[in-house]
């Protein structure tokens, strides 16, 4: 019997609210080795014409998949892709609130494609955010 059985297209498998703070960005910079200053310095962000300090796209991508990881298990993630459609501006005091919803998009042979919707203040931050998970074995 399949470990993740009985899935139906359209079914929401996981949902989560996340808050990113400036501390989250500094922590991610150190962990990942991406020290681009637009992710921690307001003056640099302003100088290159950004609306504020931005979250690393890879941080948003990394966090957005976590509801699926917790649901399926981290060793069942076969493929994960996103398009960075809108930058996540992180306010120094209030941070940035993200909502992630993970829904079954398509069922395959021993796999399922889970589609992520990542929103902040009603706007979609990632496009074509899709995770392929192994459902058998």
Partner 1 sequence: MPVNPEIQGRQYPPTPPYLVGREKVREFARAVQAEHPLHHDVDAARAAGHADVIAPPTFPIVIQQLTWNQLLDDPAAGIVLERIVHGDQRFTATRAIVAGDELTGQLTVTRVRSLGGNDMVTCETRVTDASGEHVVTATSSLVVAGEAA
Contacts with partner 1, residue ranges (CB under 8 A): 18, 24, 27-28, 30-34, 36, 48, 57-59, 61-63, 65-66, 69-70, 73-75, 77-84, 128, 131
CB of 65 to partner 1, least distance (A): 6
Q: Which is nearer to partner 1, 12 or 19 (CB)?
A: 19
The set of residues, in sequence order, having a beta carbon less than 8 Å from that of 1 and lying 6+ positions away, is none
The set of residues, in sequence order, having a beta carbon less than 8 Å from that of 128 and lying 6+ positions away, is 81, 82, 83
CB of 129 to partner 1, least distance (A): 10
b/e code 88-116 from CB counts within 10 Å (16+ = b): bbbeeeebbebebbbbbeeeeeebbbbbb
Whether the CB-CB separation of 8 and 104 falls below 8 Å is answered with: yes
CB of 9 to partner 1, least distance (A): 22
Q: Which is nearer to partner 1, 7 or 84 (CB)?
A: 84
CB of 132 to partner 1, least distance (A): 9
């Amino acid at each position: 019997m399949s470990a993740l059985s009985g899935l139906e297209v359209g079914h929401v498998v996981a949902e989560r609210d996340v808050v990113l703070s400036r501390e989250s960005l500094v922590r991610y910079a150190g962990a990942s080795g991406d020290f681009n200053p637009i992710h921690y310095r307001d003056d640099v962000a302003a100088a290159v014409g950004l609306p504020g300090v931005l979250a690393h796209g890879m941080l948003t991508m990394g966090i957005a998949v976590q509801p699926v990881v917790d649901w399926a298990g981290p060793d069942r993630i076969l493929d994960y892709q996103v398009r960075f459609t809108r930058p996540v501006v992180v306010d120094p005091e209030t941070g940035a609130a993200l909502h992630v919803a993970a829904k079954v998009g398509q069922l395959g042979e021993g796999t399922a494609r889970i589609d992520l919707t990542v929103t902040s203040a009603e706007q979609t931050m990632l496009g074509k955010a899709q995770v392929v998970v192994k459902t058998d074995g």
